[in-house]
Amino acid sequence: MKEPVVTVIVASYNHAPYIEQCILSVLQQTYPHIELLVVDDGSTDDSVQRIERLQEQYGFDFRTQKNKGLTCTLNEAIARAKGSLIAPFGSDDIMCPERIAKQVAYMQDKPEVGICAGNIELIDSGGELFPEARQRRDTPFRRLDFDDVFMERKPYPPAPTLLFRKEALEKVGGFDPQIRLEDLLIELKITHAGYYIDCLGEVLAQYRKHASNSSKNTPFMIDSILRTYALFADHPQYEYVRTRFLSSMFLKCSNRDRAYARQLLKQIPFRRWNKKTWRGLGRLFFSPLEKR
């Protein structure tokens, strides 16, 4: 069977300290049939100069643009991608050398798998492993359908390891520019279309946790996820899923941002309160405020 072309898309935005290591980890993959598309989405640091130096040496496709946001950037890159498999990859993360080869081999005879993923290691801004890295490394193989993702019945596939079938992305209309935190929605759309997400039980990438991660912007993250869930409001478990998420976020924010935590609490009907809601109330009124 002919080996497919895999298009790796790196959307770069103000990750100058990390972008070179990211790109090199793609160029050093053991899998030979990789098309690398790098797009700088209006960086204001020296990312462009760093990428240009690598582009001169390795000859990959590099374009710059005014800031459009990640979802628009991904959709435009996917439209011109030559590969039948697509790997969007964060410009601050690192691929393990055999990542693409392992995923391609796994997906070859499984047309029902729309997304293949794997495990990650957590690293800090300097590339050192976090103490909690072990729990992400050792998650066993799992297959997820729509309800598994929507109801969080199994561990989520980590974003730095997602490898998509291009046909699955095209079937669901690609990423939604209206929801900028893109991972959960595209996973729901693809599984809702009848595909599975298979997560391999081995480490495929390193995810870098640092001060400018989009997940650190808690209100942005919560709003994006609530808007994502709302697109599936006809699901019989929608209210349960929405309020369970709100309770988890209320607990998280209760001794970090008390004004925002109170806003979240107002969105949880009393009949939907759970253990996390009550724990959050305890933190809200009796715990010292955490420094952020």
pLDDT in tens, 32-68: 999 999 999 999 999 999 999 999 999 999 999 999 9
Average pLDDT over residues 92-101: 97
Least confident of 20-24, 108-112, 130-134, 177-181: 130-134
Residue 132, pLDDT > 80, answer no
Kindly state the tokens that stand for 288.
């010292």
Residue range(s) defining the domain that contains residue 238 = 214-286
Residue 73, pLDDT > 70, answer yes
- How many distinct structural domains can be found in the chain? 2
In a domain, 291, yes or no: no
**pLDDT tens-digit readout, 137-153:** 789 999 999 999 999 99
CA distance 151 to 258: 27
Buried b (16+ CB within 10 A) or exposed e, 37-56: bbbbbbbeeebbebbeebbe
Which of these three, 157, 184, 208, is where a domain ends?
208
181 and 239 part of one domain = no
Predicted model pTM: 0.93
Residue 135, pLDDT > 60, answer no
Angle, CA 20 vertex, CA 17 and CA 21 arms, to 5°: 90
H/E stretch holding 170 reads helix 166-171
Residue 36: predicted pLDDT: 98
Q: Give me the phi and psi of 120, to 5 degrees please.
A: -130, 160
